[in-house]
Amino acid sequence: MRHFAQVVRPRAGRALVACAAAMVLVATPAFGQAPNVDSRDQTAGDPSDTIIPSAGLRGTIPSGRPIVQDGDLNYPPEPQDVQDGILTAPAPEEAGAVDDPALVDQRAPEAIAAFENPPAGYDPLLFQIEDIAPSNPILNRRPRRLFEIEPYDPIGIRLGSFVLFPEVELSGARFSNVFASPNAESDWALDILPTGRLVSDWSNHALELRAAGDFSFYNEFTSENDRGYLLEGRGRLDVTRRTNLQAVLTRQHAKESRSAIDASSVGPASYVTQDLAASTLTHRFNRLTVQLNGTLTDTQYDTPGISNPDDRDFTERAAGARVSWEFKPTLSVFAAVDGNTRKFEQVATTDGLSRDSHGSRYRGGISFGETGQVLRGEVSVGYGSQDFDAADLADVDGTILEANLAYRFNALTSFLFTAGTNFSETTTVGSGGVLEHRAGVEMRHAFMTSLVGSAGIEGTRRSYAGIDVDERQLALRLGLEYFMTREAIVFSRYEHVAFRSDFPDSNYNSDEFRIGLRLRR
Per-chain mean pLDDT for the chain = 80
| Interval 434-484: pLDDT, tens | 999 999 999 999 999 999 999 999 999 999 999 999 999 999 999 999 999
In this prediction, residue 108 carries a pLDDT of 55
CB 126 within 8 A of CB 146: no
Measured CA to CA, the distance from residue 36 to residue 128 in angstroms comes to 9
11: in domain: no
Q: Judge if 317 and 226 occupy the same domain.
A: yes
Q: Judge if 87 and 172 occupy the same domain.
A: no
SS3 of 147-158: the string is HCCCCCCCCCEE
Measured CA to CA, the distance from residue 43 to residue 99 in angstroms comes to 37
101: in domain: yes
6: in domain: no
In this prediction, residue 66 carries a pLDDT of 46
CATH of the domain at 160: 2.40.160
Q: Judge if 162 and 264 occupy the same domain.
A: yes
Instruction: Give residue 54's domain range.
Output: 17-118
pLDDT-based confidence at residue 134 (cuts at 50, 70, 90): low
Q: Judge if 197 and 95 occupy the same domain.
A: no
Domain finish residue from 118, 149, 176: 118
How many domains does the chain fold into? 2
Q: Judge if 195 and 114 occupy the same domain.
A: no
| Interval 348-397: pLDDT, tens | 999 999 999 999 999 999 999 888 889 999 999 999 999 999 999 999 99
Q: Judge if 175 and 289 occupy the same domain.
A: yes
Q: Judge if 218 and 155 occupy the same domain.
A: yes
239: in domain: yes
Q: Judge if 347 and 413 occupy the same domain.
A: yes
Domain finish residue from 60, 84, 118: 118
| Interval 199-235: pLDDT, tens | 998 888 999 999 999 999 999 999 999 999 999 999 9
Concatenating the DSSP letter of every residue in 272-308 gives: EEEEEEEEEEEEEETTEEEEEEEEEEEEEEE-TTSPS
Q: Judge if 282 and 386 occupy the same domain.
A: yes
Q: What is each CA distance from 270 to 251, 258, 267, 508, in whole angstroms? A: 17, 9, 10, 21
Q: Judge if 73 and 198 occupy the same domain.
A: no
Determine if the pTM surpasses 0.85: no
Cβ neighbour number for residue 94 with a 10 Å cutoff: 7
Q: Rounded to the nearest 5°, which phi and psi values hold at 507?
A: -70, 145
Q: Judge if 275 and 421 occupy the same domain.
A: yes
Q: Cα torsion for 501, 503, 509, 510, to the nearest 10°?
A: -100
Domain finish residue from 59, 91, 118: 118
Sign of CA dihedral 134, 138, 140, 143: positive
Q: Judge if 376 and 441 occupy the same domain.
A: yes
